[in-house]
Every structure is written in structure tokens, then in C-alpha cells.
Amino acid sequence: MVRKGILALEYYTPETSKWRQAHMQARFVILNVLREAGGIVEIKEGPYVVIDSSKIETIGRKAIGQFLTKIMVYKATANVDEANKFYNYYCTVSEEYLNLRKVVIEKKTPRKVFVQSHTFLDNGTVKLQTFEPTPKGLINSFITRFGPVH
């Protein structure tokens, strides 16, 4: 989740200071909650994420628990203003994160496509035919399975 919090920066638009996907924003918030807790998450040059897994059950669990408790109290008391201030504090993208965002965008790889392979009989022997995990591979898989469309 911490790694995804950094990768979520791809879905942040600096020009408008808006997040394009709520679940990516939430991952970023979790990253910040754990960083603020101290000693669990460290972001190093590269960027590389270093996580001290021995502190997840103790410091990490407590930090996330306190965060969720505050959010739930704000919700239960309908304190929208304080809830927004509280949440926005954790989803604010600092200059450090904007620099990380550039690296995330540079290192972005194309989205993987799940393409089902096919089994078939060839002179009594079962063979496996695979396709590249790209949109083209997906189309070739369908054509192989169902034949060309007329």
C-alpha cells in the first residue's frame, strides 16, 4: 500500500491540485499517515521505499487506527469542516512529492493486459499457445479462439 501511495502520484494533477481517482488519493493518505508516525516508512533517492516491517504491527497499526478513529468521529458528529481539514492535510502534495511524481511519470510502464493462453491438440499432443500481454495480443487471442469477424 505504501508503494502504491507513491505510484498514486501519477493520478494527481498539479495544475489543478486535484486527485483524479479517490482510491489513489486514499493510498497516498495512508503513505502520509505512516510516514508521520515515524520510523516505518522512509523514501530514499531513486525513489526507493524502505519499510521497517517490525513496526507495522505496533506503530503502524496505532497510527492508522487513530487516523480512522478521527475520521469516524468527524463523520459521526457531521463535522464536515474539520474532517475536510484533517483529510486534506494528509493528501496535500508537497514539493518533495511533486519531484517524486516526475520520477513516477518517467518510469511508468504500459498497463499490463491479461491475455488468456489457449490449449489445443496437435496430433494427439496437448500444446499451449500464448499471446503477448498487449491489446494486440488480446485481439489475436480472440481471433484464435473465435475466428475472424465478418
The total number of residues shown for the chain amounts to: 150
Would you say 49 and 2 are in contact if contact means Cβ atoms under 8 Å apart? yes
Would you say 4 and 29 are in contact if contact means Cβ atoms under 8 Å apart? no
- How do residues 32-70 score in pLDDT, each as one tens digit? 999 999 889 998 887 788 999 999 999 999 999 999 999
CA–CA gap between residue 106 and residue 102 (Å, rounded):
6
pLDDT at 150 over 80: no
Tell which phi-psi region holds residue 120, choosing left (phi > 0), alpha (psi between -120 and 50) or beta. beta
Provide the mean pLDDT of the chain.
93
The pLDDT score that the predictor gives to residue 47 is: 75
CA–CA gap between residue 37 and residue 63 (Å, rounded):
6
The pLDDT score that the predictor gives to residue 62 is: 97
Would you say 10 and 98 are in contact if contact means Cβ atoms under 8 Å apart? no
